[in-house]
Every structure is written in C-alpha cells, then in structure tokens.
Amino acid sequence: MKTHKLALIPGDGIGVDVTDAAMQVIRAAARRFGFQLDCRTLPWSCQYYLETGAMMPDDGIETLRDFDAIYLGAVGWPETVPDAVSLHGLLLPIRKAFNQYANIRPHRLLPGIEGPLRSGGFDILCIRENTEGEYSGAGGRVHQGKDDEVAVETSIFTRAGVERILRFGFEQAQARRGHLTSVTKSNAQKYSMVFWDEMTRQLAPEYPDVTVSHMHIDAMAAKMVMAPESLDVVVASNLFGDILTDLGAAIQGGLGYAASANICPDGSGPSMFEPVHGSAPDIARQGIANPVAAIWSGAMMLEHLDEGQAAAAILSAIETTTGRGIGARAGSHSTAEITQAVITALEEQA
C-alpha cells in the first residue's frame, strides 16, 4: 500500500480547526481508496514563537524537506506577533526554500452557493508567481524614525522566474479551455512589467493551441466582477496574484471557499497546500470556521500525490454537501457539521 508522508502545520487560530477538518476527510478518503498516511504535526505558530523566539526551529526547512507534502492551516496572531514577523518566519520562507513558484487558486461557484454576482458561470484558475516579484524581500530602511527616513522595497523579476511561471500558465491553459490571460501593469511599470509582457509574447508561439490576452491589473479587477465567465487561466506576479485571488474568493462566495496549492513543479522539494484564508482570530476556537476551502486544498494535495481518484471523490463530496445547503451560507453550520457531511457524501459514493 502506498504511504504518503505529510507534514501538518495547523498554525494559528482557525488554521487548527480547518486542518483537523481537512485531515478527517483525507483519512476517510485514504480508507476508501487504499493508501496510507504517515503524518507528523509540527506546532510551528505564533504560540511557538512566543515560547521559543522563532516561528520554526533553525532546521525547520530541513525537517520539512523529507516530506511528500506539507499541509498548512493558517499563520498569524497579530495581537501578540506582528504579521510581518510571523509570515516572514514561516509561510513565506517555505514557499521560497522549496521553489514553490506556482501558487494555484481555483475560483468557481460550488453548487448551492450564491456569490455576490448575478452571473455564476465562471471557472477561473489563477496562477500566481510565488517566490519573487514584489515579495522578493529586497530592500531596507534608513534613518528609521527620523524625519528623513527612507524605505525601499525592490521588486525582482528574473528571466528564469518569469519564464517558468508563464510556461506553467501556458501548460495549465492547454489542459483546460486554451485561454491564458497574463496580467501586468506595463503601462505604468516600464521595466519589470514590460519585461513580463515581452516574455509572454516570446513564449506564445511555442503554445499555438493557447490564445493569449494581456490585461492590466486594474482592468482585470473590473473584468473579474463584470465578466468573470470570459476568463480561463490567469497568470500574474506575486502581489497582483495575491490581490486578484482575494477578489476571486469574493466572487466565489467568500474566503471560506478559496483553496490553494503552492507547487514546486520540478519536484525538488515538497509542495504546500493551504486555504487562502488567514487565521481569523475573531472566530478562532468557536467551531464555526468554514472548512470547505481547507478540504478542497486537501483534495489538491491528493491530486498532487497522484491520488487523482481520491481527489476527485473529495471534490464531488464537497459539491454534494454544498448542494445540500450544508456549508453554503455563512454561519448556517458548524465546522464539525460540514466536515461530517463531506465524509458522509464521500461514503455514499462508494
């Protein structure tokens, strides 16, 4: 029997609740589809930071390297640890260390869910560059706190980094409806974004079966609201992709439905799976967090681990569940009720 070695980082707040929910469903799928899980839970979180002075141990990255995949709940507890400290101590270094350069986020309406838009017929796959660009972390501050203080943060776009994410986008478009929208702001940012546009044009002839559109980020934000059904695969830089995928989450009914995968496409390190939402301190420990995004992210993890059948079965069980109105509206059901409904739907399929 195949065994998948998983590192679980529940993290903070509702990250703990939804990781538990996702793992219950994944375990149910493992029983049904005949694979085994070898899970290790790592307590890395803001609480861990308060106890040890770091979000993860010095050898944290080396520890994670041994796993087939990483599942992360959510990170952040701004009341005690500034977000810039907690995120730069855990989530962001993991994305960079394992070359998880492709952040994949699907946006579509699940059955039974009424999004804020009149039109529900959209199915968008956002591909966000995940290791460089505006998140490169190159910069500094001088004369801190003084009148002449300066803060500089430089976006870094490398040929290798841009080429690989664009190729990834083209390949995803080939596997879907054959349309790629590349999002930049090359009318204002004349170095990095013009370079990105040029790279897109250079690569396009290698993918003759893909039609390419170029859009500026501002127009794209409008399009995702006005005509989301016209979009297929969307590829964008790190920050632009971050912003667009919260918009994507909004049109699919909210952050409780937005799943994501941080993929290391060359397999040189583990990939990491996490819901798009954060730790939501205001509803932590109340048992009311929506686990759908987390469970869907778990399905993406199984897909990545070559358990395609189990992944499809979980997605279908999620659809059955929301179609039954369970977890389809904010506050209608508890985390446990939604999780159990997904497991029940999974078992009914068998």
Residue numbers annotated as active site? 135, 185, 218, 242, 246
How many angstroms separate the CA atoms of 72 and 61, rounded? Answer: 14
Can residue 129 be called a binding residue for Mn ion (CB under 5 A)?
Answer: no
User: Could you tell me if 120 and 109 are in contact, meaning their C-beta atoms sit under 8 angstroms apart?
Assistant: yes
Can residue 276 be called a binding residue for ligand IPM (CB under 6 A)?
Answer: yes
Given the complex with ligand IPM, which of 4 and 107 has the nearer CB atom? 107
Give, as ranges, the residues between 90 and 129 that touch ligand IPM (CB under 6 A): 91
- The least CB distance from residue 91 to Mn ion, in Å, is 10
User: Could you tell me if 239 and 131 are in contact, meaning their C-beta atoms sit under 8 angstroms apart?
Assistant: no
Can residue 87 be called a binding residue for ligand IPM (CB under 6 A)?
Answer: yes
How many angstroms separate the CA atoms of 243 and 60, rounded? Answer: 29
Given the complex with ligand IPM, which of 91 and 346 has the nearer CB atom? 91
Greatest alpha-carbon span in the chain: 68
User: Which of these ranges, 32-40, 237-245, 320-328, 340-348, lies near Mn ion under the rule CB under 5 A?
Assistant: 237-245
In the list 20, 134, 242, 274, the residue contacting Mn ion (rule: CB under 5 A) is: 242
- The least CB distance from residue 242 to Mn ion, in Å, is 4
Which partner in Mn ion, ligand IPM, none is near 312 (CB below 5 to 8 A by kind)? none
What string of H, E and C letters represents the secondary structure of 116-153?
A: CCCCCCCEEEEEEECCCEEEEEEEEEECCCCCCCEEEE
Crossing angle of the two packed helices 335-349 and 292-304, in degrees rounded to 10: 40
- CA 38 from chain center: how many Å? 23
Residue span 187-226 as binding mask against ligand IPM, x where in contact by CB under 6 A, dash where not: ----------------------------------------
User: Which of these ranges, 123-131, 190-198, 236-244, 293-301, lies near Mn ion under the rule CB under 5 A?
Assistant: 236-244
- The least CB distance from residue 262 to ligand IPM, in Å, is 8
How many angstroms separate the CA atoms of 224 and 116, rounded? Answer: 12
How many angstroms separate the CA atoms of 52 and 202, rounded? Answer: 49
How many angstroms separate the CA atoms of 276 and 55, rounded? Answer: 20
Can residue 312 be called a binding residue for ligand IPM (CB under 6 A)?
Answer: no
Contacts with ligand IPM by CB under 6 A lie at 87, 91, 242, 276, 278
Contacts with Mn ion by CB under 5 A lie at 242
